[in-house]
Structure 1
Amino acid sequence: MPTNEQRRQTAKRKLERQLARRAERAKRRRIIGVAVTVVSVIAAVGLVYWLVNLGDGEPPAADANPSETAPPEGTPETPTSIPSEMAPKPARPNPLAATVNCEYPAGTEPAAKPATPPNGQNISAQGTVPATISMSGNDLKATLDRSLAPCTVNSFVSLAGQGYFNETPCHRLTVTGLQVLQCGDPSGQGNGGPGYTFADEVYPELKYGRGILAMANSGPNTNGSQFFIVYGNAELPPNYTVFGTLDEESIKKVDEIAKAGTIATQPGSGDGKPANTVTISKVTVEG
């Protein structure tokens, strides 16, 4: 029969084993918790980077689902597929007044190229304006829609008339997840603008898709000169002002630019400078 001392020693060893098992389980839970937190933070940062990077040069559109096996650095990344169906032409659920007043205050950064803000008084919010974006030997036919974004169309037409877009690069191409070509920064660095800004002209029902022409921004009401052409997928929140569309033949020319690929800033992201230099020689506005 065990003595009282033996029983105490046995109970002590049992308690020590229980405490050790509990400590091990707690340690495993902490490790799993840290891992989950890290993964969540990485996913959140990736989503923010994806959305913010349609910015008017501030930090359009990284890949939301980068490839698990990234190609070697410097290798052009190309779209695996491009939707062929054109997006429906957008329309405001509630039409604007016949004319609006627009404001174009000075921005926080100097102009990347000299530009004069347009007149903002009694701007028409009716009708469309045909425009041609001459890009790397191709003429892209666009229809600017005043009923969607009169202040944006007014600024774009003014900048085109000043020759602001002449001989400027399209500095960004995204091919995975979000599929857009971003242009309008004369510096080609992604942070240039005309030296002034203007307010968003958005509404909750806005959708983006193939053929849509929209403004890039770096946050609410920071529009300037950078814009993007959606040639494929674009699951975006309604935070980017849509001011026109491109016709089907013109979008096919953008497809060729996309198929040549992008040199991704981060390999596997599908987001970077076009592999083939893309330059806007001129933007011509009719009427």
Structure 2
Amino acid sequence: MHRKTWALLTAAACALPLALATTGTAAAETAAAPAAPAVNCTYTPAVPADNFKGIPVFDAKKAAKPYSATLHTSQGNITFQALTEQAPCTTFSFRFLAEHDYYDRTHCHRLTTQRLYVLQCGDPTGTGSGGPGYSFPDENLTGATYPAGTVAMANAGPNTNGSQFFVVWKDTKLSPNYTPFGRITAGLDVLQKIAAGGEDDQNGPGDGYPTLPVNIRNVSLSKH
């Protein structure tokens, strides 16, 4: 079976993208805990299965717990707050992959510096066609916009989310087809430095492999 290409739409196709402390009794702690989202996420086996870590089983209680993720890259750290309430299926998947070291020693394979303004990562093959061995539906698309600092899923069409994601380094206009699941809280300057370095135009003017290599050494998670 051919490998899908996980990529953002071209500009022509677009409509030109916190710590809690609990005290008191166990009952009080339970009452203060985040409410589990009223969803039941399904992760469907899919090809390809690069650096396969298994298929997550959704846990609503765990999914409701806020967290931040830090991408430790060769160009500096990028931290984002996961939108666990708005995109529970997506943030649960990202947490699963990060906890299983899926993103370790991978690199960001695509940078766009015209019209789209994004850095795309999450493919262990570095080709733009890699995936984790499962897919899951889109979410949080109603009224979605993609200002600088947005973290969203790349896909190969509706409901084909896997491991690839993009980070927006400058306000961009994309149609609401890409699940937003995070907001950068630190490291936007790192992204802008990467963007200023340019790309090799492999996919056309302003679209290609980043000139400054962006290697993800590992992803760390912190609870809120």
Q: TM-score, normalised by structure 1?
A: 0.65
The equivalent residue for 2:80 is: 142
The equivalent residue for 1:233 is: 171
Higher strand proportion: 2
Contact 2:67 2:82 in 1 (8 A): yes
The equivalent residue for 1:90 is: none
**Cα drift, residue 99 of structure 1:** 3.5
- Over the matched positions of the two proteins, sequence identity in percent amounts to 40
- Shift of the 205–62 alpha-carbon distance from structure 1 to 2, 3 Å rule, reads closer
* Pair 1:60-2:23 in alignment: no
Contact 2:75 2:190 in 1 (8 A): no
The equivalent residue for 2:220 is: 284
* Pair 1:178-2:116 in alignment: yes
- Shift of the 63–200 alpha-carbon distance from structure 1 to 2, 3 Å rule, reads closer
CA RMSD across the alignment: 2.2
- Shift of the 166–257 alpha-carbon distance from structure 1 to 2, 3 Å rule, reads same
Which structure's CA Rg is the greater one?
1
Opposite residue 271 of structure 1, the aligned amino acid is: D
**Cα drift, residue 256 of structure 1:** 0.4
**Cα drift, residue 59 of structure 1:** 5.5
- Shift of the 126–59 alpha-carbon distance from structure 1 to 2, 3 Å rule, reads closer
Relative contact order: is structure 1 or structure 2 higher (C-alpha 8 Å, sep ≥ 6)?
A: 2
- Shift of the 264–160 alpha-carbon distance from structure 1 to 2, 3 Å rule, reads same
Contact 1:263 1:272 in 2 (8 A): yes
**Cα drift, residue 275 of structure 1:** 1.1
Higher helix proportion: 1
**Cα drift, residue 266 of structure 1:** 4.5
**Cα drift, residue 174 of structure 1:** 0.1
The equivalent residue for 1:260 is: 197
Deviations 1:30-66 (A, max 9, x none): xxxxxxxxxxxxxxxxxxxxxxxxxx733635455xx
In structure 2, how many angstroms separate the alpha carbons of the residues matched to 1:153 and 1:266?
Answer: 29
The equivalent residue for 1:272 is: 208
Of 19, 37, 44, the residue aligned with 1:98 is 37
Q: TM-score, normalised by structure 2?
A: 0.82
In structure 2, how many angstroms separate the alpha carbons of the residues matched to 1:97 and 1:206?
Answer: 23
Q: Secondary structure at the match of 1:262?
A: coil
